[in-house]
Amino acid sequence: MKKKLFLAIVALSGTAFGLTDNAHAQKWADLTMTVLLDGDAPAPKLLDMTKDPLCNNSTKQLSDDLVVDPKTKGIANLVFTIDTKKTKLETSQFHPDLQKVPAAKPVLDNVKCKFVPHVFAMRAGQTLTVKNSDDAAHNAKFSFFENEEVNPMIVAGGSKDVIITKEEKAATRVDCNIHPWMNAYIIITNHPYAGISDSVGKIKIEKLPAGVPLDFKIWHESQDKSIEEVSLGGKKETWKKGTVQLTLKEGANDLGVLLIKADRFKK
């Protein structure tokens, strides 16, 4: 009898203090920031496509290894993602809308003898379609570490599917051996929280867990070692090995401007 009375009191106390499942429901956060170059951007490199007449058209093509918007100094193609070495998230900790691996197939296209997009993210378990919108034939060599390496040939107007089953701990480079100036990078994760800056440096990651510490890392293909010395929201910070821990509030979290000095990138 005493045991039943004790359990009843505990149950009533829990209700009184709001200790219900709804009270402990995870809250969610959206993260935004703008990545800008602090200093002068190097002049973009003109690609030499003269070895293939099907690629050597009248349109001048520039290298994508460091793309900086001339007006805003926004840095494109910078990756900001969960650092899975430090933050371990189970699928049950993802927002319910993001727990299933998307059925849609991301597309890596060949357009005017360049890979498009140049940097993109996808989930392990998705199938990637490699498309060829050019008149020239291309191949796509994937330099995987965890997945089986593949190097499909894609004829003009054709496409090939690449099934990706495992997360890659580092960015995966894709090359066309026929046209050595062509390359792209894929970020393959077991989670849905990878942001890549657009043409003016804007990054957005939606539906992150709020109110819990999350470790993030930054990466850019042209970084000179790790990007550690940065300024975020006007405050100088040191991100050891390019990592930072953030605890986001529920709803919108605008981190402001992330400034990165020009000497952090290879000349």
Last residue of a domain, one of 173, 192, 211: 192
User: What's residue 11's pLDDT?
Assistant: 42
User: What's residue 2's pLDDT?
Assistant: 46
User: What's residue 57's pLDDT?
Assistant: 76
φ/ψ of 162, rounded to 5, equals -125, 120
Q: Is residue 39 part of a domain?
A: yes
pTM greater than 0.85: yes
User: What's residue 44's pLDDT?
Assistant: 87
User: What's residue 115's pLDDT?
Assistant: 98
User: What's residue 23's pLDDT?
Assistant: 43
Q: 214 and 85, same structural domain?
A: yes
Q: 200 and 77, same structural domain?
A: yes
User: What's residue 59's pLDDT?
Assistant: 73
3 state DSSP class of 260: strand
Q: 85 and 48, same structural domain?
A: yes
Q: Is residue 12 part of a domain?
A: no
Q: Is residue 177 part of a domain?
A: yes
Last residue of a domain, one of 166, 192, 218: 192
Query: Residue 108 maps to which CATH number?
Result: 2.60.40.420
User: What's residue 58's pLDDT?
Assistant: 63
Radius of gyration of the chain measured on its C-alpha atoms:
23
Q: Which domain holds residue 137?
A: 95-192
Q: 186 and 99, same structural domain?
A: yes
If the chain, 267 residues long, is cut into consecutive pieces of 10 residues, what is the mean pLDDT of each piece? 44 37 77 97 91 83 95 97 96 97 98 97 98 97 96 98 97 97 98 98 98 98 96 97 98 98 92
User: What's residue 13's pLDDT?
Assistant: 41
Q: What is the DSSP string of 187-239?
A: EEESSS-EEE--TTSEEEEEEEESSSEEEEEEE-TTBSS---EEEETTEEEE-
Q: 100 and 67, same structural domain?
A: no
